[in-house]
Structure 1
């Protein structure tokens, strides 16, 4: 089979992007994926911040605690089998799993955890902010993460619940790397950064065997993985930018999975040989109103807007398979989510709300939108339904960079955008949608509240702070549910949808897991029958 796998790799490298030749089915112990992977800037978990690199990190590395393939909504033991939190002392003590080794054969030691966290802080690359939230700095990290009696002791500085800290430690930059191997490949004091961008040094289910930018990624199974070796001995991810070519390769049997097909292509796949699985995603899509515009400040405008969105019409037509109706800031499927959807299209009710509040119509509002599908389609649907109540949208399409820059400068009127959490803790979104302690123009904050100049009521700010510090997880979840209800009912932000993601694959493929973010993509359980 080794020769067969090698032959497959040679074929994968030589395949034209399009053509008429038919190729043999992929080997039983190899998974071949067609995917656009040109977003990768870095693979080193201390630097990686792109979608595809997040997927790779999850399959190459473990964390002390992690959302794993068996259930991507449950925070589970990873390299740590147990932990004891002391909220008063602001410490969590982790007991490591016995007998776990890195792919190099080196044992996973408490010292590797200390090194990995310290390395992220000292390198200070893009994702370091996730860990520095815990009060860690290059100057104090040696005191904040230590080894005591063979256990890892993590200290944090801030009014955080231990549940929040655990979710931070389940994030990508908290991946544990092999200190011995990494430092053996250090160049000019880079702590192995350059080497880890083309190699791996983890304990995860796979090892990075080959990476060629915008060409191919090859993973090989870690036979000694502590949860058992993956059934797929090899995972080959081919860079195929064109969705039409991905479709061709899938239907001809040259790849097992196609990741980037359009809804039209999904709908035209042959049902006898291909299946499509749909996965809810963490991103929520919303319409928001800038409170710098006096015409958009009356709460009646916000309330009426909630009844002028054709949620069902869009999700059942051009958004089918891409989005589902969701009206709260935390995505469903995770602790603390609020999944009720009380609003639906009701133009007459919206008109009555505006009339009762003395709002004079028509109102003309510019609506900024990214100039690509499905965003422009959503904008046109909103334009049509809002016009029936006398709110006239003038659609201003722009590139993603143009739209987001305008949003950050608070120079828009209405904005159509989406938001995804940086890590899977509800505070990541509560801070974005329900907190704004300083609404001044010079107090920039990367939140939807500040960018829409919404001076959040102090009571809501206080509740966000309280939820972050609440040690009881059940009470904490209740606070986040309450915050979502408040934002849903009384904010200038109209949350409409939660993204979904469709993956097409050969019918023989089973066990592919795609959670709510790219960090939750798993190949470990894949089989082919």
Structure 2
């Protein structure tokens, strides 16, 4: 394992980050990626919750179960755990560890390491800890609830949760298995190695962390003893390139293999460049419209129904959101268990106007707050125009993201336009915020629930169905339960999913098997190869 601040790593990372374009093409055994990676705060799996940090950890660590980058539709598969067994009462899951796997340090991966990693994450109680603590684990009880012997570890749950719920959550980066011996050798006081792991790694994944310069570059080196086989790309270098135009130029020149943050304009201009391809992947983020039920106009069922027909889904997706989003009208992203692809609404101003007229609300004015992000403002202005045709006036106040979020959490945004990104790869991550709100009172202060933020009093039947879906043992039945919830939601809810985020990656045509992680996980490099 390499300490990331060695002089060699510093010099290499600095050179990669700031050197002018010089290569006609990248080395055959090296993958060079341009991306905006200035969001990395920590590389400790128990703390990292930012996109770029998770991208690194996805490749330096393994988990008990994980996704196969060449078979994403299969969902989670065995990884460090070769098998698992659920108890008859559903209150425990016992994992049998795969033998012969080693950490980058050379230490064997043991059941003790896996159990300690989960215990550690719960004890540290950093931002992503809720992914594990929702199963009844607390810093006080976790050593009793997560146990191990020589070859197995057991999770003792507080309820008989759906196995798919638990296993999907164990694909999250917070469930990464860390090398206990190495981490504790670098612990400071009672920090369980957190300070050291913020800038180092102690994993068993396909890559080791060879270098990291904040806001400049990350370098990964292939772990030749990886239990699933050594990666073809012996080095992965991720350069921090914030501007889309700069990424495009580097890709055109052959100085990088992949550009991850291209604007729609640059995607369009580069599509015809010889030697370059564009790969589209649906991501997990949903752009939605929330109608605050404290507003007298927006709480009218006729207006809720009308608003669903005042969005020009195809027109918007094919113009100013082209290449960034695709129409999607359900709260579970495509790629999730139970995802629904029904598209019940079309752009129909006449139908919306008739509903508004019938409700006697023509001529009403609504003033709302919109984050000053180009795509959100553009959607708001398109909505403003269609609402005007239907007899409603929308006044838009542009604010910073922080200002809008503060107002939204205070239930003071009449029409919210923005995105929600899932926290883990199970459908409950979205169902529990869109379709669950057991206490709609102002006093509840359930600011983490989108339903509460929009003052949506979720019907008791839907609340109960959302909870029941977390307990259903049969995966097929569970998927159907989520589809049923979403259909009921589409029929009546005032929070309207509009689009799903799409990631456009520009690739040199020699790059094969690129996988950004789809809608469920982070980028994976171990399967990437280069052809002629």
TM tier, shorter chain? over 0.9
Secondary structure of the structure 2 residue equivalent to 1:514:
coil
Is 1:257 the counterpart of 2:258? The answer is: yes
Map Cα deviations across residues 258-300 of structure 1 (whole Å, 9 max, x no partner): 1112111111115212111111011111111111112211111
Where do residues 467-482 of structure 1 align in structure 2 (5 Å cutoff)?
Answer: 467-482=469-484
**1:226-276: CA deviations, max 9, x gaps?**
111110000011112222222222212211111112111111115212111
Q: Residues 22 and 252 of structure 1 are in contact (CA less than 8 Å); yes or no, is this contact kept in structure 2?
A: no
After TM superposition, list the pairs within 5 Å mapping 1:21-420 onto structure 2. 22-73=22-73, 74-86=75-87, 88-148=89-149, 150-158=151-159, 160-269=161-270, 270-356=272-358, 358-420=359-421
With the length of structure 1 as denominator, give the TM-score of the two structures: 0.95
Change (3 A) 1:52 1:143: same
Residue 87 of structure 1 and its aligned partner are, at CA, apart by: 5.6
Contact 1:299 1:491 in 2 (8 A): no
- Give, in angstroms, the shift of residue 17 of structure 1: 5.8
Question: Secondary structure of the equivalent of 1:165?
Answer: helix
Partner Cα separation in structure 2 for residue 274 and residue 149 of structure 1 = 50
Offset of residue 524 of structure 1: 0.7
Contact 1:328 1:339 in 2 (8 A): yes
Report the Cα distance in structure 2 between the residues aligned to 1:26 and 1:472, rounded to whole angstroms. 48
Q: Residue 505 of structure 2: SS of its match in structure 1?
A: strand
How far did 1:347 drift?
Answer: 1.0
C-alpha contact (below 8 Å) 1:87/1:471 kept by paired residues: no
Aligned-pair distance for 1:9?
A: 9.7
Q: CA deviation at 1:301?
A: 0.7
- How large is the RMSD of aligned CA atoms in angstroms? 1.9
Q: Does 1:500 align with 2:505?
A: no
Match of residue 491 from structure 1:
493
More displaced 10-residue stretch of structure 1: 61-70 or 219-228: 61-70
Contact 2:57 2:173 in 1 (8 A): yes
CA distance in 2, matches of 1:377, 1:526: 37
**Which structure 1 residue ranges, 5 or more long, are not aligned?**
1-5
User: Offset of 1:371 from its aligned partner?
Assistant: 0.7
Q: Would the aligned equivalents of 2:335 and 2:519 in 1 still touch at CA under 8 Å?
A: no
Match of 2:468 in 1: 466
Task: Give CA deviations for 1:142-165 in whole Å, capped at 9, x if unaligned.
Answer: 111111462111111135222211
Deviation at 1:498, TM superposition (A): 0.6
- Greater CA drift, 229-238 or 254-263: 254-263
Q: TM-score, normalised by structure 2?
A: 0.94
Give the CA deviation at 1:515. 2.2
Q: Deviations over 1:154-179 (max 9, x none)?
A: 11113522221111222111100011
Give the C-alpha shift of residue 86 in structure 1: 2.0
Decide whether the 8 Å contact of 2:164 with 2:475 is kept in 1. yes
Q: Quick one: distance in 1 between partners of 2:199 and 2:22?
A: 32
The offset of 1:18, in angstroms, is 9.0
Name the structure 2 match of 1:3. Answer: none
1:7, distance to aligned residue in structure 2 (A) = 11
**Does the 8 Å contact 2:302/2:356 carry over to 1?**
yes
For the residues of structure 1 that align with 2:243 and 2:310, how far apart are their CA atoms?
36
Candidates 453, 456, 459, aligned match of 1:457: 459
CA contact (8 A) 2:280 2:504 kept: yes
More displaced 10-residue stretch of structure 1: 195-204 or 106-115: 195-204
Give ranges in structure 2 of 5+ residues lacking alignment: 1-6
Give the whole-Å Cα distance in 2 for the aligned partners of 1:297 and 1:145: 46
